[in-house]
Structure 1
Amino acid sequence: MKKFINKLVLFFGLVVLTDILCGLCFDFLFAHAKSGSTERIAHIAKQTNEDMLIFGSSRAVHHYDATMIEKSLGKSCYNCGFDGQGILLFYGLYQMINRRYRPKVIVYDIQPNFDYLKGDNIKYLKTLRPYYWNQKIRSYISDVDKVEAVKDVSSMYRYNGIGVQTLCDLSIARVNNIKGYQPSESKMVKEPIVDDKPFVHDEKLDTVKIHYMEKLIRECKENGTKLIFVISPLYKRTNSIEYEPIRKIAKANGIPFIDNTSFFGHNTEMSYFSDAVHLTKEGASVYTERFIDQIKPFVENYK
């Protein structure tokens, strides 16, 4: 019996040691990534120092030319948009950004599925796992999901699903964004089916996401950061009724809300869109130029 217990202790000891070594290895690789999503998230969390930041999903990434904004408004700008992500990532990133400095303006491009509708919320925390030992992030992950926080103690779990990406981003050095902005070179080749009258039922609202969106609003106010909500253009859409829940939150908290759903109109050129929800490089340039005029009244005199 004693021999069995000794073997069991040795086995678990080796498992823990392996986990620690894997963590040290991937922490090193993560910290030395040269490109891709690994380098991008590290830059946002640890190096941004711009006056204005763009938050949001892939629509933010592809729709806001940070260089154009800088030149026109005279404020430094970085596009922090991240494919397939929403408030549960950006609230965490804001915690790390906020420890270093206070951005003057945050433009948040809203996307219903990622920012206030129900879904698999754990997937939004995956990107934050490498920063688990940051006290703010550890506390935040535990607040969102206590079981997830326990799992994240394991290094192998933290890097599960992003280890291969980390390796690729370490070995391939490439410039793939301009101040965070990633222009889309693809073009729409087939007319998409557009649902012009989408509707959101109350039971689809995610109380966890809404909770952190409201926390972001409060903390931006406390820290002197001007928060602006935006809906960027959608292909041949004439209404934005599914955005009503976030519009109400913005109104209740005095947050500017810019609705550009039908920015290009119902007869817009397909060349401006790569698909029903994403702009091409050409479309983004036209949109950013007009968007700059829209936000000038909110940011020109914001110190």
Structure 2
Amino acid sequence: MKSFKLFIIVILSIFILDKIVFFCLLQVDKRVFVGEGVGKLNQFLKLKDTTEIIFFGNSRTNHHINPKMFGKSSYNMGVNGRKMAFSATLIQTLPKNKKQFVVLQLDPNNVFEKDYAGDDMDALLVKYHQNRIIRKKLIEMSRNNYFSSVMWSLDYNGLVLSLLRNFVKPKYNYKKYNGYDPIKNNKAQKAIFLKKLKRNGRKNKCEETYQASDINNTCLDEIVAFCKVNNKALIVFTSPVYKDKCKKDNTAMKQLMESKGIKYYDFTDFYAKNDNLDYWKDEEHLSKIGAEEFSVYLADFLKNDLK
């Protein structure tokens, strides 16, 4: 009997301690708006209801699009390593029935990734107990931790040190940050890039067929449906690459977007005739020079769509 009582006391103590830890971390979380792990997500959630143009996507959004060039209130919610499910979930947190422009950068190789399981959603686990929409999507995609329902502090697993660091010593003034992180290039980096180009010069082999995974299909349908009923103008585009070694996936991408009634623009070959390495960090990422030029062009190209 004593052993059972002791067991109950230990369980209750762990439960109470977990909630104390969670609410302490939550108070820190609420004050952090710097850093890619939590801060940028917090900033997005804070300003999403009042921003007119929001760019979503991965590192090729984050490093390629300067919202400043688009005039209206705009924010770049591109995050390194994220894919369709992450963006689709955040888009669905936008306010209902408010006119906004959703500009989503998608790469064909990600859309047609056969084994995609939505693992990029794990970055949203930190909001499991804070945002109803995010929690719902995590559960739907089976990305939630089973123990999180009881152990709330697990939401901050792996994030505590960065959270505290960005709380104590922020790297930048988030009030002046629009989500854009340009990549500066130098002679050493250009030399490294040139060596990689020489090693990777052979042509890539295209797949026989291209088909979006079930998850990507579902996410696209959810984005389209959400935007349609909530006064959001949806635009999807593909950002430039250094040299596109396969065109079949571009064609398949256009067909997929057309089948879903999505306005789509392919800028893969925007710099195809320009071999200036000052414009590039690597084969998939523009330097600040290239990104600024592309942003200016894109803002002008989309000016009618963004009215």
Class of the TM-score when normalised by the shorter of the 2 chains: 0.7 to 0.9
The C-alpha deviation readout for 1:65-106, integer Å capped at 9, x for no partner, is: 110111xxxx2211111111122112222232235x735211
How far has the Cα of 1:271 moved from its partner? 0.8
How far has the Cα of 1:118 moved from its partner? 4.2
Q: Identity of aligned pairs, percent?
A: 21
Residue matched to 2:12? 13
The answer for unaligned runs of 5 or more in structure 2 is: none
Work out whether 1:128 is the aligned partner of 2:135: no
Partners of 1:293 and 1:250 lie apart in 2 by 22
* Contact 1:59/1:278 (<8 A) preserved: yes
Helix, strand or coil at the partner of 2:303: helix
Task: After TM superposition, list the pairs within 5 Å mapping 1:75-154 onto structure 2.
Answer: 75-98=72-95, 102-112=98-108, 114-119=110-115, 121=117, 123-133=119-129, 134-145=131-142, 148=144, 150-153=146-149, 154=151
Task: After TM superposition, list the pairs within 5 Å mapping 1:222-301 onto structure 2.
Answer: 222-237=229-244, 239-300=246-307
Helix, strand or coil at the partner of 1:136: helix
Partners of 1:58 and 1:91 lie apart in 2 by 16
* Contact 1:230/1:259 (<8 A) preserved: yes
Partners of 1:64 and 1:27 lie apart in 2 by 31
Partners of 1:201 and 1:6 lie apart in 2 by 64
How far has the Cα of 1:293 moved from its partner? 2.5
* Contact 1:61/1:83 (<8 A) preserved: yes
CA distance 1:217–1:34, change in 2 (3 Å)? closer
CA distance 1:195–1:171, change in 2 (3 Å)? farther
Q: Which amino acid aligns with 1:242?
A: D
CA distance 1:195–1:131, change in 2 (3 Å)? farther
How far has the Cα of 1:223 moved from its partner? 1.2
Partners of 2:169 and 2:118 lie apart in 1 by 28
Helix, strand or coil at the partner of 2:190: coil
* Contact 2:109/2:249 (<8 A) preserved: no
Partners of 2:253 and 2:212 lie apart in 1 by 10
CA distance 1:247–1:26, change in 2 (3 Å)? farther
CA distance 1:232–1:198, change in 2 (3 Å)? farther
The C-alpha deviation readout for 1:17-73, integer Å capped at 9, x for no partner, is: 222122112111111114112221101122232211101101101111110111xxx
Q: Which amino acid aligns with 1:66?
A: P
Helix, strand or coil at the partner of 2:104: strand
Work out whether 1:188 is the aligned partner of 2:187: no
Task: After TM superposition, list the pairs within 5 Å mapping 1:203-218 onto structure 2.
Answer: 205-218=212-225
CA distance 1:274–1:136, change in 2 (3 Å)? same
* Contact 1:53/1:77 (<8 A) preserved: yes
Partners of 2:110 and 2:13 lie apart in 1 by 40
Partners of 2:30 and 2:146 lie apart in 1 by 23
For residue 171 of structure 1, the aligned residue among 168, 172, 178 is 168
The C-alpha deviation readout for 1:96-145, integer Å capped at 9, x for no partner, is: 2235x735211111034555524564642222222212222222111111
The C-alpha deviation readout for 1:231-286, integer Å capped at 9, x for no partner, is: 11101226543345543331012211111111111442111001111111100111
Helix, strand or coil at the partner of 1:96: coil
The TM-score normalised by the length of structure 2 is 0.86
Work out whether 1:57 is the aligned partner of 2:58: yes
Helix, strand or coil at the partner of 1:213: helix
For residue 157 of structure 1, the aligned residue among 151, 154, 157 is 154
Partners of 1:195 and 1:36 lie apart in 2 by 38
* Contact 1:198/1:241 (<8 A) preserved: no
The TM-score normalised by the length of structure 1 is 0.87
CA distance 1:203–1:62, change in 2 (3 Å)? closer
CA distance 1:202–1:32, change in 2 (3 Å)? farther
* Contact 1:239/1:262 (<8 A) preserved: no
* Contact 2:107/2:239 (<8 A) preserved: no
CA distance 1:161–1:241, change in 2 (3 Å)? farther
